[in-house]
Structure 1
Amino acid sequence: MADGFNFELVSPEQLLVSTEVSQVVVPGADGYFTVLANHAPTMSTLQPGVAEVTETGGSTEKYVVFGGFVDVTPETCTLLAESAVRVADIDRGDLDQRIQDAREDVSDAKDDETRTKAQAYLDQLTTLQGAVLPA
């Protein structure tokens, strides 16, 4: 069995998860990456996406995260999410509102750099919507 390490998923509202895990798949700023025990120390921003958490007992849970940071040491992985919810508990209305707000940010952008960042965030949200919500 794989070595375990401590994992926490924290949002401003609550501590969602604090458990021993065998791996965590993280939606990092430069793409998804997998954290295992004894991982090299790493810090990254998070993009909106799905974090997949596999506990040492083998059960897997998925969480939607909307931005934030991940801090990895050889013994721990901590996701500090701007907002997070279990995929099973996702609120379609909340995600639709986030997408609408992102569309408004794209159309309200005053310069190319701001528009590009807003469009990238909108693209991430719509991809996330397709991945976690049934059609």
Structure 2
Amino acid sequence: MADRVEFELVSPQRLVKAQLVDMVVIPCSEGDIGVLPGHTPLIGTVRPGVVDMYENGKVSESIFVSGGFVEVTPDRCTLLAEEATYIHDLDQGTAQTRLDAGRQDLEKASSEIEKANAEASIKTAEAMLAALGVSSAAH
């Protein structure tokens, strides 16, 4: 068994990250999962949140994802993200604007599809703000 996991993070635009890691933690819809070498195979849905990559027992890099799918095998973890942004590239103003727009879209939604899209935008913006350590409840 390998002592590292081959991690790939892919967005529709590009390959965001491809590297060997000690562990990767993925924000899945049922809760965060930590993927170590030898992990049981699984396919899951990813919720908006932060992906943490670990090296030598500590987080070496963090990337925000807005959702997607993950496939895990004993030696590999592939995350297909709707969008991915390095934590240091997140902007509080942009996230807040996105949250406000999502709330406005929700108020004027006239179909279930529009409502679902607005709710997804709100969840993503709230997760972005949480990743930045900002509460979205005050706004």
Note whether the superposition's TM-score is higher than 0.5. Answer: yes
Matched residue of 1:20: which SS? Answer: strand
After superposing the two structures, state which structure 1 stretch, 117-126 or 10-19, moved more. Answer: 117-126
User: TM-score, structure 1 length as denominator?
Assistant: 0.80
Q: Per-residue deviation at 1:127?
A: 4.3
Matches within 5 A, 1:7-86: 7-55=7-55, 60-86=60-86
Change in 2 beyond 3 A, CA 1:58/1:126: closer
Change in 2 beyond 3 A, CA 1:101/1:71: farther
Q: Per-residue deviation at 1:60?
A: 1.2
- Which whole-Å CA distance do the structure 2 matches of 1:26 and 1:65 have between them? 9
8 Å Cα contact 1:21-1:56 kept in structure 2:
no
After superposing the two structures, state which structure 1 stretch, 95-104 or 58-67, moved more. Answer: 95-104
Q: Per-residue deviation at 1:59?
A: 5.6
Q: Per-residue deviation at 1:20?
A: 0.4
8 Å Cα contact 1:22-1:54 kept in structure 2:
yes
1:97 corresponds in structure 2 to 97
**5+ residue gaps, structure 1:** none
- Which whole-Å CA distance do the structure 1 matches of 2:31 and 2:117 have between them? 16
CA RMSD, Structure 1 to Structure 2 (Å): 2.7
Count of residues paired in the alignment: 134
- Which whole-Å CA distance do the structure 1 matches of 2:11 and 2:127 have between them? 22
**5+ residue gaps, structure 2:** none
Matched residue of 1:39: which SS? Answer: coil
8 Å Cα contact 1:20-1:55 kept in structure 2:
no
